[in-house]
Chains A and B, each alone.
Chain A
């Protein structure tokens, strides 16, 4: 076989992954993706193995629920044909590989710096000198925004090329948030240090990234979690989804100057995150998800309290969203604004909400189930077809309602929790493991590789923002620049998840 088929969270021996020549490696993975919308690349990365680079490509198949993993060993100097020239899904992945290891590509269409990581191959490339695309035309002008933005958000630089008020092109420059997380995963040896790192990948997706990490870690250590742990993680994931979607709907209202919607939805987020605090002591669920245990067991009192909160939330949420989606002045700002078509999202390879908004059915809860998904919770993705701000807002509203249903189902049967006690978790040696999660934003992928002594030699994190930022750049084309904020907020991608 040219690749090995594995399931989500399955640990396999590193030696079982076929090592191919680069030519075969490239052909096979391109072939796997050709005209197959149910397949996409969830991770493509490399790590240094002596003086060579070992590349791993992981293609998820939503129809078979499998992930096809293949690898190749390459040196750093030979110029090679890129995957991206044939399939744009790989564009970001290859830029990252090029930045980290200097592997040259002969035909990569957009081989620009990716995040200016501290351990990049070419230190002469600095963040002040990013090679922006230029419009060589007197009629066009450029607008630069950031890295520091007007509001209280993370930094990144947007460079627009405009014709008057109309955006012709947007290029987004990243790297400002780079903290060296992947490297720290290797350096810090204690489980709690690594868990804390996972909690800090993207602060709005604490549960998502930490769950991806602990699911992976337990699998790597051969530990089968108690069903109560799966229960707590599933519950927390859906709670996080409701909280962020509510906050983002508030922000969309803010961007279209619908003050009442902004205030009401903004305050509706509070009981959700306050419930995280009642349960685990942190409004953003830091400290809640742990490998092999949970320090804050979920009990019947919590269930009753959550039930109360949901009961109070639902009528208020229903009332304000019904108003919002009937308000002509709001609809006119949302409909046909920031459109990304099905073909475009397919070409970019977007995941999560940024795929479902345009009719591309990608949802790990259905395609590669984990924790209680596929068991207690049989999930049907919410699909929209217009790919505009309205579709994205609708998805959020409907997913909130769906998640409330899941929460109610979960709290109807609270399992017995064990006392929080550390279990012994030792990573197996010479293994490869991949963990997929559907966070509120979309698919999160963590991969780990251990050497013969059980030490981590690679820890690869992929936030959905890695794929999806390009969808924002496409969405704003031909829109007025004044619609940029609402386009941006309707996606709400992560800078820190991208920059790591």
Chain B
């Protein structure tokens, strides 16, 4: 008993008081800034392992970016990753950062379904499905509920049964072998429900784009409510993304 109290005392306060303003330690590769500097665009676009960079004007698609940082290492005057971890949005095209863009990435409240705030604003239960994910996004989603990020304090929880869930969080590029279980799980969630894509692999297929072992047809048939980029998704990116989706429009 006293041992346990002593251990608790030694831990001190671990939780992050304000997850919307917390600073991430060290170098974090978040929202990139692309300068107007002149570079050989062919070399730059050719460098990217997932073809996330396009030329004329130079753009980075955060839905495809693996955040490996190679472009920033090779073209430091052109590309710089900031520590801004607020990367989530409900509109796919907002993930494409153009040269000169300095604006934050945000959820467009105009296009958020009205019932989302009304029904899920105070409590959102999510069912997570890993569909070919390598386990990294899964680790980070687990971390959202550790004592530091503590996402439960906002009424956001991961639940075991899709019947208890208000939405689905998909990680991984959606393998052929997981396509059907994913569909079954989604169908088991009562309406209305939301779909969140967490991580580059889920949003675009990432490095697996074009692999014959994938089947991404689920995304052709169902609307996505939130895109959360990252490789893997940082817990703060996830928390802030979901909170901004739930906010009153």
Contact = CB atoms under 8 A, between A and B. Distances in A.
B240 to A, nearest CB: 16
Given A154-B133, A287-B29, A264 B11 contact: yes
A115 to B, nearest CB: 8
B144 to A, nearest CB: 9
B158 interface: yes
Interface in B56-72: 66-70
A152 B142 contact: yes
Contacts of B68: 192, 196, 286-287
Contact of B212 (A119, A154, A175, A281): A119
A197 interface: yes
A496 B4 contact: no
Interface stretch (A202-210, A344-352, A405-413, A469-477): A202-210
A277 B181 contact: no
Contact of A204 (B26, B135, B181): B135
Given A152-B141, A196-B66, A319-B10, A176 B181 contact: yes
Interface string B61-104: 00000111110010000000100000000000000000000000
A424 B172 CA distance: 32
Given A184-B211, A287-B69, A179 B132 contact: yes
A394 interface: no
Contacts of A153: 130, 135, 138
Nearest to B138: A152
A315 B9 CA distance: 13
Contact of A278 (B27, B47, B49): B27
A286 B47 CA distance: 17
Given A274-B25, A278-B26, A266 B146 contact: yes
Given A154-B135, A203-B232, A286-B67, A277 B27 contact: yes
Interface in B170-202: 172-173, 175-178, 180-181, 185, 201
B7 A277 contact: no
Contacts of B8: 260
A128 interface: yes
Given A200-B206, A281-B81, A287 B67 contact: yes
Contacts, number: 192
Q: Chain B interface: which size bin?
A: 35 or more
Most buried by B among A118, A197, A260, A283: A283
A494 B136 CA distance: 11
Contact of B139 (A148, A264, A284): A284
B208 A184 contact: yes
A65 B132 CA distance: 36
A150 interface: yes
Contacts of A201: 134
Contact of A494 (B4, B128, B135, B137): B135
A454 interface: no
Interface in A276-303: 277-284, 286-287, 295-296
B214 interface: yes
Contacts of B29: 281-282, 287
Contact of B137 (A148, A190, A203, A316): A203
B160 interface: yes
A41 to B, nearest CB: 25
**Interface size grouping (class) on chain A:** 35 or more
Interface string A397-428: 00000000000000000000000100000000
A176 B178 contact: yes
A320 B7 contact: yes
Question: Which of B49, B135, B185 has most A Cβ within 10 Å?
Answer: B135
Nearest to A146: B181
Contact of A203 (B139, B146, B178): B139
Interface in A195-248: 195-197, 200-204, 206, 247
Given A267-B14, A281-B28, A155 B131 contact: yes
B74 to A, nearest CB: 8
A88 interface: no
Nearest to A326: B3
Interface in B3-28: 3-4, 6-8, 10-11, 14, 24-28
A179 B138 contact: no
A260 B148 contact: no
A295 B47 CA distance: 15
A267 B130 contact: no
A380 B22 CA distance: 42
A147 interface: yes
A323 interface: yes
Contacts of B31: none
Nearest to B6: A319
Contact of B49 (A117, A127, A196): A196
B142 A177 contact: no
Interface in B205-219: 206-208, 211-214
Interface in A431-452: none
A197 B181 CA distance: 25
A457 B159 CA distance: 44
Contact of A496 (B26, B135, B180, B206): B135
Given A148-B185, A203-B232, A277 B135 contact: no
Contacts of B173: 179
Given A152-B128, A196-B49, A323-B4, A179 B211 contact: yes
Contacts of A197: 207
Nearest to A274: B25
Nearest to A290: B70
A490 B67 CA distance: 32
A135 interface: no
A107 interface: no
Nearest to B48: A192
Contacts of B160: 150-151
Shortest beta-carbon contacts, A-B, top 3 = A203-B136, A278-B26, A180-B213
22 contacts: A148-B129, A152-B138, A154-B135, A154-B138, A175-B177, A177-B130, A177-B177, A177-B178, A178-B175, A178-B213, A184-B207, A192-B47, A196-B207, A203-B133, A203-B136, A203-B137, A274-B25, A277-B28, A278-B26, A320-B7, A496-B135, A499-B177
Given A176-B132, A263-B147, 14 more contacts: A116-B177, A150-B160, A177-B133, A179-B208, A180-B212, A183-B213, A201-B134, A270-B148, A279-B26, A281-B69, A284-B136, A286-B68, A323-B4, A499-B175
